[in-house]
Amino acid sequence: MASFPDVGDPMPDVALIGADGATVRPSDFRGRKLVLFFYPKDDTPGCTTENIDFSRLAPEFAAAGTALLGVSKDPPAKHAKFTAKHALTAPLASDPLEHGLADALGIWTTKSLYGREFLGMVRTTYLVDAEGQIARIWRKVKVSGHAAEVLEAAKALS
């Protein structure tokens, strides 16, 4: 079984594509904390709620010296529509379909629904410290109250 990065390990520096089409990497955020929240799909109920919650708390994350970045496999144009439709302020990035950051983290994996297997994103959040080390991981996230819990952890991380 493959070994994936865990708490205390460096966040893999795999390039993502920002909503504006520009490349964005975890290393671009060195010197401040970073919350990378991975979610399955734009404009689905749980993912919409999660993105709205992080956007609502974005000023508090900024005050805690913490950048936000939501990540899914959706293309930048879909992120732009999703952002505009829900007035999201937390930036979004697209993870390449193959050999992306989610693959490097082991959270793009085989899932099953109604007996059908498919590749999908496991809703997971990473809190990365200012030096680029993974400080905390939330796996198989339940959306309700999650953004507030991550905010408290970001505030507590020096």
Catalytic site residues? Answer: 47
CA-to-CA dists, residue 143 to 12, 134, 152, angstroms: 25, 21, 15
Locate 84 and state its tokens. 């505009």
**144: region left, alpha or beta (phi > 0 left; psi from -120 to 50 alpha):** beta
Residue positions counted in the chain: 158
Q: Please answer whether residues 66 and 8 qualify as being in contact, where contact means their C-beta atoms are separated by less than 8 angstroms.
A: no
Rounded Cα distance, 129 and 150, in Å:
13
Q: What are phi and psi of 36, to 5 degrees?
A: -105, 115
Which residue has 């401040």 as its token pair? 32
CA 13 to chain CA centroid, Å, is: 14
**What type of residue is 99?**
H
